[in-house]
Structure 1
């Protein structure tokens, strides 16, 4: 693997940023007076515990952040990004139900960042395999733990 510092860090959403599948949730969602995201039955939804801190730190380190997700319910995915107040961290957002290589081709075209300067975090091995064939550095996220700053650092700073 080349030792090139990445310019773009890309994240999947389901089971990576948040601990659920958007397409399997009860809808509609709402934001209550305590700023908690709930569905029509009162079920509460949240991000994985370390996501906000990780996104904040990465943005302060001037990485370009992006989303690549195969969610079919695109509207709800965008709604949740806004309800969780994390949409502003992402320069590029590719959410549609296609093969992840399509997402990355668009990220490459829009950003002009070469694949070997991108890192992708996802819980799905199929997506990891697909994207790594493009030359993107990939890391598998444990779907029961989700994204953490420590996991991100395993690639960005392997000596720490």
Structure 2
């Protein structure tokens, strides 16, 4: 007598056998006391301070940012039209130089005010952290032919947190 099994039935049979085989295994129980107490011979590994998680900026900073951004209203065109770069020999009158076009509108001005005011300490911390990464990021941006000032985009987006 020959028994014919369809492909679907054979797959279901294989899954059932696999399920039953795994359900019969035993779990190794570890007492909680073994987890709590280190072995006398075990040495605690030294933790690299660069790998320790950093405390992120407080949620209040996000609330301040969102509140200030909501007050700016809908997105708009730049307040000042981008112009050709002009050479200015008086350092007090010179405009900052960027390697990509910078647009200043109400939203950008809001962030400038926020990072120079209420959140100045966070921004200063981000600038301090940027020293760890700026050389590496600048080299990669230059190699890719991308404006080097985009380094600051990474800082604004992440604060260079881990």
Please give the TM-score of this superposition, normalised by the length of structure 1: 0.24
Which of the two has greater helix per residue? 2
Which of the two has greater strand per residue? 1
Please give the TM-score of this superposition, normalised by the length of structure 2: 0.24
Q: Which has the larger radius of gyration?
A: 2
